[in-house]
Amino acid sequence: MMKRGIDDLNILEKFAVDFTKVVEKYAKYIIVSGFVAISHGRSRATEDIDMIIEKVSKEQFKKMHDELIESGFECQQSDNPNVIYDDYLNDKLSVRYTRKGEPLPEMKLSQAGFLSISKFPATDIHLAFVFCSISKTKALVAIVTIFNPIAS
């Protein structure tokens, strides 16, 4: 039986795996939107991945950002983690990370007001509850079922 491994991943999947290896050290996260549909076999043209991380402290974000930079990523909005955190993430705005010098693919990163992820025992099913304040007047509340997360 053939086992899927990192060599079998396409460019977008490899980008997601490399990015999440850093993020998971600092925050819980979920990946949402078109990339999820693609990873489950649907055909869809997308060059970006949408990630929502739990609310983290500025200090924790700075450590994560610094490791992302060391790992070959860059933020399109700013090089300064204080600006990214204060002017974007804390203001309910997303930021975009790419590999240094490459416009695509990109990770659109947002910070949730609340994120809780639970794994059902003896299954590959995870359940995430997300609360995101999208703007001053709009909020997103979602319960997301996650099957078979991408294995690195």
pLDDT at 149: 46
Backbone phi, psi, residue 71, to 5°: -90, 5
Q: What whole-number distance in Å separates Cα of residue 64 and Cα of residue 29?
A: 13
Strands 48-53 and 139-147, by their bridges, are unpaired
Residue 64 and residue 38 in contact, taking contact as beta carbons nearer than 8 Å:
no
Tell me the per-residue pLDDT of 20-76, one tens digit each, with 9 for 90 and over: 999 999 988 877 765 444 444 545 555 678 888 888 999 999 999 999 999 999 999
Q: Please, what are the domains in the chain?
A: 10-39+47-112 (3.30.460)
Question: Which run of H or of E encompasses 7?
Answer: none
Nearest Cα neighbor of 96 from 114, 80, 121, 76 is 76
Residue 95 and residue 76 in contact, taking contact as beta carbons nearer than 8 Å:
yes
Query: What secondary structure, in 3-state letters, does 103-151 show?
Result: CCCEEEEEECCEEEEEECCCCCEEEEEEEEECCCCCEEEEEEEEECCCC
Is residue 87's pLDDT more than 80? yes
Tell me the per-residue pLDDT of 91-127, one tens digit each, with 9 for 90 and over: 878 899 999 999 888 988 988 764 455 555 555 555 5
Largest CA distance in the chain: 51
Q: What whole-number distance in Å separates Cα of residue 143 and Cα of residue 135?
A: 19
Report residue 18's pLDDT band, with 50, 70 and 90 as the boundaries: very high
- List the helix and strand counts (H, then E) for the chain: 4, 8
Which DSSP symbol is given to 84? Answer: I
pLDDT at 118: 53
The model's pTM:
0.69
